[in-house]
Structure 1
Amino acid sequence: MAEVQGNLRQKTVASLAAGILRGAGYLPRRWRAALGAMLGDLVRLSMTRARRVVDANLAIAFPMMGLAQRHTLRRAHFRALGQAALELGPLWYWPLPRALGLIREVRGDDLVDAALAKGHGVILFT
């Protein structure tokens, strides 16, 4: 019974997340950024395990920083994470022409084409 409840909860959270991402695609960019920051704050405040992991990583990466500075950086991290989710998430639901319309510059596409023509794999970092 607990497994069924866990699966139902996971499906509910996934459906809610998908609905938020889809709905965010209809909002102006400025609104998505503001709501994304709030979403990041909500995650930071509610997910204690994730917060502890971020705290541990920041302590390792920035041992010279004071606790208050690391907490400021932690807050900025979660806010940026929420903003990225609401900026990039809607792309999964947008029609391809709309998503491709966001591309401003492409560099090195000739190298990708040449590698693919030779039968080589390609890894892209964007």
Structure 2
Amino acid sequence: MDKFKGALVVGFLRLFALLPWWAVRVIGTTIGWLMWKLPTRARDVVRINLSHCFPELSEGERERLVGKSLGDIGKTLTESACAWVWPAEKSLSRVREVEGLDVLQAALASGKGVVGITSHLGNWEVLNHFYCSQCKPIIFYRPPKLKAVDELLRKQRVQLGNRVAPSTKEGILSVIKEVRRGGSVGIPADPEPSESAGLFVPFLGTQALTSKFVPGMLAGHKAVGVFLHALRLEDGSGYKVILEAAPEAMYSTDTETAVTAMSQVVERYIRAYPSQYMWSMKRFKRRPAGEARWY
């Protein structure tokens, strides 16, 4: 059954990628609108997350943000489907602006390992192609459950000569080894880790269990950290890629200081582009001792 489902999904993705860009965006917006207006689990999770992270908004303001967020989530889904199937060069043609490229170039020229740090903001699939066009990193990812979809993504994500590493013990070790030998890697900073692999630090007005993995690789300036995001442009034509050097505090050998600094950077980007974050993700599943579950 899983094999049939996988083939069906891959076939649908390939057909979908034949559509013109305007149609991809219209369908994405429609999917988001339906997720907002129908009693979906995604809508419930977005409402819960936004109620905790933006308590200063009025009920009406927050509900409008729920709708806009789901619209952007819908567009992220359909636009990512294209990035999974298109040649990398076609996806890269949608990158209209780049800010801070010199930061990445300086990091690559440093002779140290480079850790590209992103989050579930904007379109990380397009960002993957952009990053891989600048260097040949190992991209760290969580494999989808369907084998056929995983095989498609593995193939599409390495079009530019880079490699991928699943979020397994072997994958983690390959990422660490790549950084130690002076190579480059790409890692999302915001997936919720296990409690042993993370710390609760301030994030968007609450506490969030946040991974120690990235700060651990940077500690003591053993590697260079660069934040990267591909943000959707208001005119719908494509994306602006923003690159920024990791703050000095992220190189601290004090784990809490470094993890907090990483969390603060991600928070700043989310507050600047709140609707483009994947609020349907159960980012706050684990709570500090004594606090009730959100979901």
Same fold (TM over 0.5): yes
Q: Deviations over 1:61-115 (max 9, x none)?
A: 134412x443332222111110122123211211122223333333443432332
Structure 1 length as normaliser, TM-score? Answer: 0.68
**Greater length-normalized contact order (CA 8 Å, ≥ 6 residues apart):** 1
Q: Which residue pairs with 2:55 in the alignment?
A: 62
Counterpart of 1:26 (choices 9, 12, 18) is 18
Query: Which residue of the partner structure matches residue 125 of structure 1?
Result: 228
* Corresponding residue of 1:79: 71
Q: Cα RMSD over matched residues?
A: 2.8
Mapped pair 1:37 → 2:29: yes
Amino acid at match of 1:76: K
The 1:43/1:17 distance shift into structure 2, 3 A limit, reads farther
- Are 1:116 and 2:219 counterparts? no
- Per-residue CA deviations over 1:19-40 (Å, capped at 9, x if unaligned) read 4443332212221111111222
2:85 aligned to which of 79, 93, 99: 93
Counterpart Cα distance in 1 of 2:108 and 2:55: 41
Q: How far apart are the structure 1 equivalents of 2:34 and 2:11?
A: 17
Tell me: CA distance 1:9–1:42, structure 2 relative to 1, closer, same or farther (3 Å): farther
Which string of whole-angstrom CA distances, capped at 9 and with x for unpartnered residues, describes residues 27-65 of structure 1? 1222111111122234442532x3222112222213441
Question: 1:55 aligns to what SS in structure 2?
Answer: helix
Distance, in Å, in 2 between the alignment partners of 1:37 and 1:85 is 10
Q: What SS class does the counterpart of residue 125 from structure 1 fall into?
A: strand
TM-score computed with the length of structure 2 as normaliser: 0.34
CA contact (8 A) 1:115 1:122 kept: no
CA contact (8 A) 1:40 1:78 kept: yes
Structure 2 unaligned runs (5+)? 117-226, 230-295
Q: Give the partner amino acid of 1:29.
A: W
Structure 1 gap ranges (5+): 1-7
Q: Structure 1 residues 74, 108: CA separation in 2 closer, same or farther (over 3 Å shift)? A: closer
The AA in structure 2 aligned to 1:125 is: L
How many pairs align?
116
Change in Cα spacing, 1:53 to 1:19, as seen in structure 2 (3 Å) is same
Equivalent residue letter for 1:74: V
**Residues in 2 aligned to 1:23 and 1:84: alpha-carbon distance in whole angstroms:** 17
Larger helix proportion of the pair? 1
Letter in 2 for 1:59: S
